[in-house]
């Protein structure tokens, strides 16, 4: 393998990792924009979605059905948690709400541990067949599914916010909650929808990555953390920035592991987080300070 | 007021969650207490029941519970029932030390465990200081070496050097002189790396690429990319599942076609389940348990192996694996030592060191003051995975 092929291989690996981080960052940023809450239980939605799908697939359901049911269930869970834990505390400060999501994350992880135990589970790849070879580097077909999901999610979010009535209503309540209320938009419904959608997105991401990363009850923590770093790189409120932040992080991790040392991989994420927060708290990509969808 | 109620709800939630979590992590007591007659002998075990190494710890726990039940049903040790206390170290070094201290406070005669090398190493200081015999179920040779600093420590899993010699033997037979070595960044991987590097040097085999990865890594493509760029004729991997399975999938995915040789760390069904088709073709040295039906009747271990397989399958409806076997050996070595030595920690230690010709699941143990593992290369066989099954090589 020549150095060029090696660099290309690492690039594909980084893109796959990066797309995973992007998906989680997207859900984080969207919820943050809409509700002002950083949902630190986002990683748990990813783990639950994957584990539910694994169980249903093992029970004999076809993959497509297991995917749909799992996404619906986790979406409902997201909505339920918003009503049960966030809505009831709506008068509390933003910090309190974030701490509530930490509590939810710990509870969900405990629940997953009770149901699925500590074992690792795996899903088969969505499409059969070996890797594709692009210019001397191998690409796992599952990576293409993950790229696809990221692209569709990004396009879907864009279409929703720019082209639909509901999307505009959400935007309105982000820009000015009180004014939106005056024209008849209910911010509580908007917050409910945001959590439902991030549950669905998290579960979908979990199922898409399960064939590559495998699933355990505690997989959500590290993924949630990396997603958060990706969102911070992108400026925390910038949807496009979150995607770029995720991909940048994935590629940096892959190159530092492949070219320097694999011990450096997880350190990279934290080093970047610190550097961004210290030097450019508004994010590397989005220099715009106000919330922008 | 509203805020206060909410805080109360949140606290209640957190509290409930912490009970749920600690509820499943706390220790289990097996049998012994209601048996009338002689005072029970307390035996402690610290296993990796949850966390990264749970695929090792769980069959070990099941095996120990089964053996303790059997032993108590047949009258215990010289009439004394056994009170087995198993604690979970969550695959963590600090938790292991806390657990072993708890057990010593409860006056156990000896400690079994841990399942993996890191937590085992972490317990050594404590048992050496407190003079409590310990039988580890983990692989790294450094757990029992140098013996002069490890007088109270024994182990039942084959030391790295036994496995390394088996692999080196195979490489020489195949005429392979350049290998890539990949290992997990923990005590198990490190032990394998040191033993392999030394043995390879002595046998004229060159390590042309050396790569490490973390137990929690989800993608080893970067490391394998470097292996692909190297002139290696075979890859030797020192890891346990799930990372060993992920590596094997990545290995096939990037189209590497050199032979893939794993250590005995992947000697359980979980490895194949997680790696799926990618596991086919993998070669590894393994204890005889996994291929018990394929080894000849003349093998001295055949009867012990079949007995363990029957008992375990009957109780748990699943075949046992080599990790459960390490627990079987540790428990029975200890029981036979207590039988002869009585309830005295120092006498038990001396008796363990005198073990000769003990036929166990992992091999025939011959302990000595220089060797606290007591197994040699004959305790292992080479197998290849074919269609998701273990096949004896040659």
**Residue A101 belongs to some domain of the structure:** yes
Model pLDDT, residue A1? 55
B interface mutation test: which of A17, A107, A116, A118 has the most B CBs within 10 A? A118
The Cα of A52 is separated from the nearest Cα of chain B by a number of Å equal to: 17
Residue B258 lies in a domain: yes
Same domain, B215 and B337: no
In a domain, residue B211? The reply is yes
- Indicate the helix (H) or strand (E) that contains A246: helix A239-255
- Does residue B344 sit in the same domain as residue B197? no
Residue B11's pLDDT is 52
pLDDT given at position A210: 92
Look at A138 and B14 and tell me if their CB atoms are within 8 Å.
Answer: no
pLDDT score recorded for residue B345: 96
pLDDT at B5: 52
Determine the Cα–Cα distance for residues A147 and B248; give it in Å rounded to an integer.
23
B18 occurs within a structural domain:
no
Determine contact: B10 vs chain A, CB below 8 A.
Answer: yes
Question: Which of B6, B229, B274 is facing A120, going by the closest CB pair?
Answer: B274
In a domain, B3, yes or no: no
> CB-CB: which of A114, A119, A131 is closest to B255?
A131
The answer for residues whose C-beta is within 8 angstroms of residue A151's C-beta and 6 or more apart is none
Contact (Cβ atoms closer than 8 angstroms) between residue B285 and residue B265: no
Residue of A216, A257, A266 with shortest CB distance to B222: A257
Q: B386 with B256, same domain?
A: yes
What is the rounded CA–CA span in Å between residue A251 and residue B384?
Answer: 36
What is d(CA A140, CA A116) in angstroms, rounded to the nearest whole number? Answer: 28
Closest to B84 measured CA to CA, from B60, B96, B67: B67
Terminal C-alpha separation, chain A: 43
What gap in Å lies between CA B50 and CA B61, rounded to an integer?
11
Given an 8 Å threshold on Cβ–Cβ distance, is A110 in contact with B221? Answer: no
Residues 6+ apart with CB under 8 A from B190: B140, B183
Q: Do A212 and B50 touch (CB under 8 A)?
A: no
Q: Are A166 and A194 in contact (CB under 8 A)?
A: no
Number of domains in chain A: 1
Q: Which pLDDT value is given to residue A289? A: 46
Q: Same domain, yes or no, for B211 and B130?
A: no
Whether B10 maps to a domain, the answer reads no
B392 CB contacts (<8 Å, ≥6 apart)? Answer: B291, B294, B295, B381, B382, B383
Q: Give me the pLDDT at residue B382, please.
A: 94
Q: Sort out which chain B residues have CB atoms less than 8 A from A19's CB and list them.
A: none
Measure the CA–CA gap between A106 and A237, rounded to whole angstroms. 25
Interface touch A131/B21, C-beta < 8 Å? no
**Do B131 and B253 have their domain in common?**
no
Integer Cα distance of A203 and A201 in angstroms: 5
Residue A152 has pLDDT above 90, yes or no: yes
Q: Which residues of B touch A216 (CB under 8 A)?
A: 242
Report the residue of chain B nearest A117, measured CA to CA: B50
Q: Is residue B22 part of a domain?
A: no
Q: Specify the pLDDT at position A119.
A: 81
Contacts of A131 in chain B (CB under 8 A): 253-255
Window 212-271 of B, Cβ < 8 Å to A: 212-214, 216-219, 221-223, 225-226, 228-229, 241-242, 245-246, 252-255, 270
Provide, as residue numbers in chain B, all residues whose Cβ is less than 8 Å from the Cβ of A137: 254
Between A234 and B261, name the one with better pLDDT.
B261
A-chain residue closest to B5, CA distance? A89
Name the domain count of chain B: 2
Please indicate if any CB of chain A lies within 8 Å of the CB of B9.
yes
Q: Is residue A22 part of a domain?
A: yes
What is the structure's pLDDT at A288? 43
From first to last of its 394 residues, chain B has per-residue pLDDT tens of: 444 555 555 555 555 555 444 444 444 444 444 445 688 999 999 999 988 788 889 999 999 999 999 999 999 999 999 999 999 999 999 999 999 999 999 999 999 999 999 999 999 999 999 999 999 999 888 899 899 999 999 999 988 888 999 999 999 999 999 999 999 988 889 889 999 999 999 999 999 999 888 887 788 888 898 899 899 999 999 998 889 999 999 999 888 999 999 998 898 888 998 998 899 999 999 889 989 999 999 999 999 999 999 999 999 999 898 899 999 999 999 999 999 999 999 999 999 999 999 999 999 999 999 999 999 888 999 999 999 999 998 7
pLDDT tens figures, B35-57: 456 889 999 999 999 887 888 89
Whether residue B384 sits in one domain with residue B261? yes
| Residues of the domain holding A101 | 3-118+137-279
Contacts of A223 (CB under 8 A, 6+ apart): A20, A21, A24, A43, A46, A47
| Position B364 in a domain | yes
pLDDT of residue B1: 43
Interchain contact, B218 vs A117, CB within 8 Å: no
Question: Residue A146: inside a domain, yes or no?
Answer: yes
Q: Are the CB atoms for A223 and A41 separated by under 8 Å?
A: no
Alpha-carbon gap: B221 to the closest alpha carbon of chain A (Å): 7
Query: Counting every residue, how long is chain B?
Result: 394
- Put simply, the answer to whether B10 touches A265 (Cβ < 8 Å) is no
Alpha carbons B16 and B221: distance in angstroms, whole number = 41
How many other C-beta atoms can be found within 10 angstroms of the C-beta atom of residue B88? Answer: 25
What's the CA gap between B109 and B98, in Å, rounded? 17
In a domain, A129, yes or no: no
Per-residue DSSP letter, A83:
I
Indicate which CATH number applies to the domain containing A159: 1.10.3470
pLDDT confidence of A284, banded at 50, 70, 90? Answer: low
- Cis, peptide link before residue A163, omega less than 30° from 0: no
What's the pLDDT tens digit per position in A248-274?
999 999 888 888 776 677 788 888 888
Contact A10, A4 (CB under 8 A): no
The answer to whether B236 and B260 are in contact (CB under 8 A) is no
Looking at mean pLDDT, say which of A101-110, A213-222, B221-230 comes out highest.
A101-110
Residue-wise pLDDT tens digits, B319-328: 898 899 999 9
Domain that holds residue B261: 160-294+379-392
How big is chain B by its Cα radius of gyration, in Å? 22
Alpha-helical segments (H) within chain B: 2-25, 54-73, 93-105, 117-130, 160-173, 187-202, 221-229, 243-253, 269-275, 302-316, 322-341, 345-353
- With a cut of 60, say whether residue A64 has pLDDT above it: yes
Both tokens assigned to B53:
């190494």
Give the per-residue pLDDT at B219: 83
Cβ of B214 within 8 Å of Cβ of A89? The answer is: no
CATH number at residue B233: 3.40.50.2300
Q: Which residues pair with B184 in a beta bridge?
A: B213
pLDDT at B14: 53
B338 with B348, same domain: the answer is yes
* Residues A133, B228: Cα–Cα separation, whole Å: 14
Instruction: Kindly identify which residue of chain A lies nearest to residue B278, measuring between CA atoms.
Output: A130
* Facing residue for A262 by CB, picked from B7, B213, B246: B213
Give Cα separations from A145 to A52, A98, A137, A148, A200 (angstroms).
19, 32, 18, 5, 17
In this structure, are residues A234 and A190 in contact, taking their beta carbons and an 8 Å threshold?
A: no
Q: b vs e for A6-16, b when ≥16 Cβ sit within 10 Å of the residue's Cβ?
A: bebbbbbbbbb
The DSSP symbol for B315 reads: H
Q: Are A14 and A252 in contact (CB under 8 A)?
A: yes
- Same domain (yes/no): B386, B241: yes
Percent composition of chain B: helix, strand, coil (DSSP 3-state, to 5): 50, 20, 35
Looking at the fold, whether B179 and B200 belong to one and the same domain comes out as: yes
The reply to whether residue B274 touches residue A2, judged by beta carbons under 8 angstroms, is: no
Chain-chain contact of B54 with A2 (C-beta, under 8 angstroms): no
Residues in contact with A174: Cβ distance below 8 Å, sequence separation at least 6, in sequence order: A33, A34, A291, A293
What is the per-residue pLDDT for A292? 45
**Mean of the pLDDT values across residues A57-85?**
95
Residues B145 and B175 both lie in one domain: no
Contact A6 B216 (CB under 8 A): no
CB contact under 8 A, A131 and B274: no
Q: What pLDDT score does A90 carry?
A: 83
Nearest CA in chain B to A108: B17
Instruction: Tell me the average pLDDT of chain B.
Output: 89
In a domain, B76, yes or no: yes
Residue B10 to residue A103, Cβ atoms within 8 A: yes
Residues B258 and B212 in one domain: yes
Give me the interface pTM, i.e. the ipTM.
Answer: 0.71
CA nearest B48: which of B30, B67, B25?
A: B25
Chain A hits for B255, Cβ within 8 Å: 130-131, 133, 138
Q: Residue B234 in contact with residue B206, Cβ under 8 Å?
A: no
Are residue B113 and residue B254 in the same domain, yes or no?
no
């Amino acid at each position: 393998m020549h150095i060029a092929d090696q660099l290309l291989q690492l690039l594909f690996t980084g893109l796959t990792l990066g797309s995973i981080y992007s998906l989680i960052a997207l859900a984080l940023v969207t919820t943050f924009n809409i509700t002002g809450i950083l949902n630190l239980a986002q990683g748990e939605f990813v783990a639950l979605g994957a584990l539910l799908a694994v169980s249903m697939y093992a029970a004999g359901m076809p993959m497509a059905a297991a995917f749909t049911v799992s996404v619906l269930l986790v979406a409902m869970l997201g909505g339920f948690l918003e009503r049960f834990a966030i809505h009831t505390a709506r008068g509390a400060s933003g910090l309190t709400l974030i701490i509530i999501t930490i509590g939810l994350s710990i509870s969900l992880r405990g629940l997953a541990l009770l149901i699925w135990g500590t074992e690792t589970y795996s899903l088969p790849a969505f499409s059969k067949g070996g890797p594709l070879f692009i210019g001397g580097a191998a690409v796992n077909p599952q990576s293409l599914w993950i790229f696809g999901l990221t692209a569709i999610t990004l396009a879907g979010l864009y279409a929703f916010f720019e082209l639909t009535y509901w999307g505009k209503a959400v935007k309105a309540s982000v820009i000015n909650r009180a004014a939106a209320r005056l024209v008849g938009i209910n911010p509580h419904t908007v917050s409910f929808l945001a959590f439902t959608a991030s549950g669905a997105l998290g579960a979908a991401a979990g199922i898409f990555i399960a064939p590559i990363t495998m699933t355990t009850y505690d997989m959500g923590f590290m993924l949630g953390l990396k997603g958060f770093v990706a969102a911070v790189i992108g400026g925390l409120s910038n949807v496009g920035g979150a995607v770029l932040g995720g991909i940048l992080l994935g590629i940096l991790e892959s190159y530092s592991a492949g070219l320097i040392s694999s011990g450096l991989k997880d350190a990279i994420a934290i080093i970047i987080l610190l550097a961004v927060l210290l030097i450019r708290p508004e994010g590397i990509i989005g220099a715009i300070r106000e919330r922008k969808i | 007021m509203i805020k206060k109620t909410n805080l109360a709800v949140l606290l209640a939630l957190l509290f409930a969650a912490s009970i749920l979590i600690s509820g499943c992590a706390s220790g289990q007591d097996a049998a012994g207490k209601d048996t009338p007659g002689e005072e029970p002998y307390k035996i402690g075990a610290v296993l990796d029941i949850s966390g990264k190494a749970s695929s090792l710890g769980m069959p070990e726990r099941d095996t120990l519970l089964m053996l303790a039940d059997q032993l108590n049903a047949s009258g215990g040790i010289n009439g004394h029932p056994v009170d087995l206390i198993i604690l979970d170290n969550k695959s963590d070094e600090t938790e292991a030390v806390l657990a072993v201290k708890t057990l010593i406070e409860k006056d156990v005669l000896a400690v079994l465990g841990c399942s993996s090398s890191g937590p085992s190493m972490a317990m050594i200081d404590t048992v050496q200081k407190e003079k409590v015999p310990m039988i580890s179920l983990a692989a790294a040779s450094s757990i029992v070496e140098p013996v002069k600093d490890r007088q109270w420590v024994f182990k039942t899993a084959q030391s790295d050097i036994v496995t390394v010699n088996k692999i080196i033997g195979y490489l020489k037979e195949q005429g392979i002189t350049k290998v890539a070595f990949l290992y997990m960044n923990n005590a198990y991987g490190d032990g394998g790396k040191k033993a392999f590097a030394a043995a390879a040097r002595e046998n004229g085999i060159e390590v042309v690429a050396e790569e490490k990865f973390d137990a929690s890594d989800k993608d080893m493509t970067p490391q394998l990319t470097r292996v692909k760029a190297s002139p290696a004729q075979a890859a030797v991997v020192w890891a346990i599942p799930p990372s060993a399975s992920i590596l094997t999938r990545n290995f096939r995915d990037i189209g590497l076609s050199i032979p893939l040789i794993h250590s005995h760390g992947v000697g359980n069904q979980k490895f194949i389940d997680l790696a799926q088709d990618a596991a086919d073709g993998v070669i590894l040295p393994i204890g005889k348990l996994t291929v018990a039906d394929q080894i000849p009747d003349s093998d001295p271990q055949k009867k012990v192996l079949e007995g363990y397989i029957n008992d375990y399958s009957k109780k748990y409806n699943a075949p046992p694996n080599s990790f459960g076997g390490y627990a079987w050996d540790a428990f029975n070595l200890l029981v036979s030592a207590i039988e002869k030595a009585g309830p005295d920690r120092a006498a038990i230690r001396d008796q363990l060191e005198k073990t000769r010709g003990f036929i166990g699941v992992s091999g025939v143990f011959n302990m000595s003051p220089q060797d606290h593992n007591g197994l040699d290369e004959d305790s292992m066989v080479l197998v290849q995975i074919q269609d998701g099954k273990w096949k004896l090589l040659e």
